[in-house]
Amino acid sequence: MTIKPILIHPDPRLKKVAEPVAEIDEALQRLAEDMLETMYDAPGIGLAAPQLGLSTRLLVMDCAKDEGARPHPYAMFNPEVVWQSDDINVHEEGCLSIPETFAEVTRPAEVVVRWTDPSGEAMEDRFKGLWATCVQHEIDHLEGKLFIDYLKPLKRQLITRKMQKLKRERARAAS
Nearer Cβ to Zn ion (63/95) = 95
Nearer Cβ to Zn ion (39/95) = 95
Closest approach of Cβ 120 to Zn ion, in Å? 26
Separation between Cα atoms, residue 94 and residue 54, nearest integer Å: 20
Separation between Cα atoms, residue 171 and residue 175, nearest integer Å: 6
Separation between Cα atoms, residue 29 and residue 173, nearest integer Å: 34
Q: Provide the greatest CA pair distance for the chain.
A: 50
Quick one: which of 6, 35, 95, 113 contacts Zn ion (CB under 5 A)? 95
Separation between Cα atoms, residue 132 and residue 111, nearest integer Å: 6
Specify whether 138 is catalytic: yes
Which of these ranges, 2-10, 36-44, 76-84, 90-98, lies near Zn ion under the rule CB under 5 A? 90-98
Separation between Cα atoms, residue 73 and residue 61, nearest integer Å: 6
Contacts of 124 (CB under 8 A, 6+ apart): 82, 112, 113, 114, 115
Size of the site for Zn ion (CB under 5 A): 1
For residues 104 and 152, the answer to whether their CB atoms sit within 8 Å is no
Closest approach of Cβ 29 to Zn ion, in Å? 22
Nearer Cβ to Zn ion (25/41) = 41
Q: Is 141 annotated as a binding residue?
A: yes
Separation between Cα atoms, residue 33 and residue 10, nearest integer Å: 26
Which of these ranges, 2-10, 95-103, 121-129, 156-164, lies near Zn ion under the rule CB under 5 A? 95-103
Nearer Cβ to Zn ion (35/95) = 95
Which of these ranges, 12-20, 37-45, 89-97, 111-119, lies near Zn ion under the rule CB under 5 A? 89-97
Output the known binding site.
Answer: 95, 137, 141
Chain residues in the site for Zn ion (CB under 5 A): 95
Which of the residues are catalytic? 138
Output the known binding site for Fe cation.
Answer: 95, 137, 141
